[in-house]
Amino acid sequence: LAWGGAAEQAAEIAEGKLDAKDWQAEAKKIVKNTMAQYYANRPSARNRPVGNDAPVPGGEAPMSDFDKHRETLISEDAEEGWASELARYLGAMERDVKKDTDIVEWWQNHVQLYPTLARIALDVLPSQASSVPCERMFSGTKQIATDRRSCLGPKPFEELTVMKSAWGPGIYDAASWNSAQVEEVGLVEFEEMLVDD
């Protein structure tokens, strides 16, 4: 709701910015389109036959009147199902969400209540908000793609890149650790040895 809405759009148009947008409406439109796509591709929808004369799964016979009626009801539910879920989410004030809430964990815990939104959130949230980590990873691939490793296929190359990115910062560098260690030597021991000599 912090994004500009219809009032802000009207104010910008009055100032002469004719291409001003109602960003709240744009965001809602994107969410609705995405929910419709995810809802249509949910696991139970993918296994369903398409069309009124589609064969029943496992058989070659056309659908019965009952099956046709059932498919009509399911297709009518397709839009209503995700729309009611979105309306329920937008109308609810989730009390357990605070500034420091782990959003990924929250969506994992609420997948039963908001199944379509949870699938979208769990697909979108792992995406990096900054391009710096992926640029750093892309730059690091030149150390993997050397002349000696030119025969690597795409899958091993991808696996090496991901492992280097994930484990690289935590790999223990024994050489630099050894060079950083300073051994303090007491001269008293050597003075005694010199006296003995």
Q: What is the pLDDT of residues 141-166, one digit of tens each?
A: 777 877 777 788 888 888 888 887 77
Q: Check whether residue 89 and residue 40 sit in a common domain.
A: yes
What pLDDT sits at residue 129?
Answer: 67
Q: Which H/E stretch holds residue 18?
A: none
Is position 29 within any domain? yes
Q: Which of 127, 129, 40 is nearest to 77 (CA)?
A: 40
Average pLDDT, the chain: 77
In this structure, the answer to whether residues 162 and 73 fall within a common structural domain is no
Q: Are residues 102 and 119 in the same domain?
A: yes
**How far is the C-alpha of 83 from the C-alpha of 81, rounded, in Å?**
6
Is residue 111 assigned to a domain? yes
Q: In the structure, what pLDDT confidence band is assigned to residue 80 with cuts at 50, 70 and 90?
A: low
pLDDT at residue number 57:
52
134 phi, psi to nearest 5 deg: -75, -30
Let me know if residue 37 belongs to a domain.
yes
What is the residue range of 116's domain? 6-44+66-125
pLDDT at 114 over 50: yes
Scan for tokens 């809405």, then name that residue: 5
**pTM as predicted:** 0.48
User: In the chain, how many domains are there?
Assistant: 2
The widest CA-to-CA distance across the chain, in whole angstroms, is: 111
Does some domain include residue 157?
yes
Domain match, 91 and 136 both:
no
